[in-house]
Structure formats: structure tokens, C-alpha cells
Amino acid sequence: MINWLQSLPTYSAYGSPSYFIYLLIALIPLMIGLYFGKRFSWYEFLISFGFIFVMFTGANIPQGVSLIGYLVYETLLVMSYFKYRQIKNQTSVFYGAVFLSILPLVIVKLTPAMVGHSSLLGFMGISYLTFRATGTIIETRDGMIKELKWWELIRFMSFMPTITSGPIDRYRRFAKDYQTVPSREEYLTMINQALYYLFLGFLYKFVITYFFAVKWQPAMERLAMMHAPHFSWPVVGVAYMYTGNLFFDFAGYSLFAVGISYLMGVKTPMNFKRPFASPNIKEFWNRWHITLSFWFRDFIFMRFVFLATKKRWFNNRNALSSTAYMLNMMIMGFWHGITWYYILYGFLHGLALVVNDAWLRFKRKHWPKHKPNWFTNAIAIFITFNFVVFTFLIFSSFLDQFFFHHQ
């Protein structure tokens, strides 16, 4: 059995044209059903299982086993807390449930730093599934989730289009979409939007990303390494090439996930909204990896502000918001990995949010009648964009090799 599984081809999500051909063919009966007002739940389960299965065959079999174990663990945990919440609401139990829900992810993230190799518990998408599980527990605590069934939770957690890299949905929003079937007119509009997202995703991920990732970024890195560890103009080129590579690759993937979700009758939220047109760093995080930044905003930043206000930890509102910004972005940095470049990346973005708020307060106090114009807005966009490019250079890990492993 194991030999047979290892001999099967492995398809990464949205990784090749053949994957799309097989997926779109498989979706046709589901789309016909939605067009006629029917959602074929069992058929959707079968094709979702099939495409998740082929992601975890071959060399990825251990990850597939970890995924199954993880889903069983999180389902038991979330359902247990949901049943408990119908009776009691102790804070210690809530914190315990949240801790247990993020524990597998913490182990996966800490293992490489502690023992030098990846954890056996890890699999593609564990972060995004953890965000869904933990968010469901938090919304259950808040009384927002009134009904929860185990098979609906598994369907939400393992929703095939978004299982490996998001976008990160919320249970209530997903369940509302899934429990209703769009009208024929609405579904035709969704198909039209889906086709646009898929074509744009192809342009981003398979055309533009090719030039950044295959042609331009490697060439810049080779030139930069010729002068390592001393800075040169090619290092600046690496920063811009990596930024383009990261954006078009990830935005392309997200467009695929949203497009396929729409074909399946689910309006998965968008993940990017012209982030490089942002006039400040706060606006950037409202446009970049939106579902992740909003998850951190709602479940870490806002809850810390609420708790700190309730406990009267701060006498100054600005000190409270600054601390919350730093905490939020440092946790995001650590989430990416226990390395100096991820942690520094989170620190710099937290600091930028603090400085941005201070600047806005300064403007309100000293220039209350000042109105932004096209020139000042262009300068703001230019500064924000280049700050992001600089921090993405740090995030890329290239400087780790540039400074410490160049020989």
C-alpha cells in the first residue's frame, strides 16, 4: 500500500496547467448543480478529498498522515470547547483551549530552531488551518457561533481551494455561504468573476512571476554575492526583484484559490488589494495578505487592547496602542519562523505602525487644516513602498546568506 502511494504523482495546489485541467473538469457537475440551485455536498466532498489526496502522495505521504491526525485533534478540541461553552464560560478553560489549538503549530515552528530539522507534525497549510481552528474557538467564546457540527467544521477546516496557503476564512462567513445556494443570476456573476480571477492569476503566477523568480532575481543575487558582505547596487536590485516575486506569486495563488472557491459557490475573501498604492504602513496592512492581517488585528491586537483597558495596564492610550502594535507584529514575525530576519521584520513593521500613528497625531496637532494632495500622497506612497521593499529584503533571508554564509 505504501509503495503504491509513493508511486503516485504528486500535484501541488495550482502548481501546473494539468492540475487546473483536471480540477475544472471535476468541478463541472458541481457547477451544473449550483446553476440549477442544488449543492451536491457529497460530490464536493469526493472531489475535495481526491485533490487533497494527490497533494499528499509520493514523498508527501508523512505530511498527509500528519494532516489527518491534525484534523482529528483540532475537531475534537473545537467541538469539545463548543459543547463546554453551551454550559459554562470560564476564562481559564478558554485560554487552555486556545493554547491547545495553537500547540501543534508552535511545535512545528520551534522544532527547526531547537533540533535542526523540520517537525514530523508539519504539513503544507498547518498555519492556515490553525488560524481557522483558533478563530472558531475565539468566536465560540464570544457567543458568535450558535451552532456547530463536526462534519461542518471539518468541511470548513479542509476546504480544498484554500487548504495549503489561504486565504484565511472565518467559520461564520463560510457557513453562511455554504448553507445557502446562490441564485442563478448571482452564480453566473460569480462564474464571471472566477474566470477573471483565474486568468489574472495565470498572468501573475505563471508569466510575471517567471521573470522575477527565474530571470531577474537570481541574476541580481549572483551579482550581489560577488561583493558580499559589502553592500552594492545589486543588493538593492535583489530587494525589488524579491518584492515583485513575492507579490505576484502569492497574489496569483490567492486569485486561483478565490476563483475556484467562487466556482464552488463560496465567496472566499480576497487577499490583496493594490497594496503598493498604500500611502502609509497601516493602509498597507489593510491591503496586503488581508485575511492574515485582519486575523491578527481582530484576535490579537484588539483583544490585547480590550484586556489591557479592562485591567488598566496603561494610563496612556497611545502607549497602549503602541504596545499592541509591537506585540501584534512581533508575534507575526515569530509565526513566520524563529530566525533573526523574520523577527527583525516583525519588529520593524511594528515600529513603523507606532511611528505612523505618532506622525498622524503630530499632523492633527500642528497642521489641523492641512489636506493631502496628489503630490504629498505620491511622496507618502513612495516612502511606504520603499520601506516595504527594504523590510522584504530582510524577510527574504538573502541577507543571512549575504552576511554570514557568503564564503
Q: In the Cβ-directed half-sphere of 108, how many Cα atoms lie within 13 Å?
A: 20
Looking at residue 61, its pLDDT comes to 85
Within its chain, how far is the Cα of 2 from the centroid? Answer: 32
Q: What is the mean pLDDT of residues 265-284?
A: 96
Residue 4 pLDDT > 70, yes or no? no
Looking at residue 403, its pLDDT comes to 87
Rg value, the chain, Cα: 23
340-383 confidence digits (pLDDT tens): 999 999 999 999 999 999 998 988 888 877 788 889 899 999 99
Q: What is the mean pLDDT of residues 279-289?
A: 96
One-letter amino acid identity for 183? Answer: S
Looking at residue 169, its pLDDT comes to 94
21-36 confidence digits (pLDDT tens): 999 999 999 999 999 9
The chain-wide mean pLDDT, for the chain, equals 91
Span between the terminal Cα atoms of the chain, in Å: 45
Grid coordinates representing 291 are 485575511
For residues 131 and 122, which has the higher predicted lDDT (pLDDT)?
131
Residue 5 pLDDT > 60, yes or no? no
Within its chain, how far is the Cα of 60 from the centroid? Answer: 21
Positions marked active-site: 336
Residue 142 pLDDT > 60, yes or no? yes
168-208 confidence digits (pLDDT tens): 999 999 999 988 999 999 999 999 999 999 999 999 999 99
Within its chain, how far is the Cα of 343 from the centroid? Answer: 17
pTM assigned to the model: 0.92
Residue 10 pLDDT > 80, yes or no? no
Looking at residue 265, its pLDDT comes to 95
Looking at residue 381, its pLDDT comes to 97
Q: Characterize 32-64 residue by residue with b for buried, 16 or more Cβ atoms within 10 angstroms of its Cβ, and e for exposed.
A: ebbeeeebeeeebeebbeebbebbbbeebeebb
Residue 286 pLDDT > 80, yes or no? yes
68-119 confidence digits (pLDDT tens): 999 999 999 999 999 999 999 999 999 999 999 999 999 999 888 777 777 7
**Contacts of 369 by beta carbon, 8 Å cutoff, 6+ apart:** none
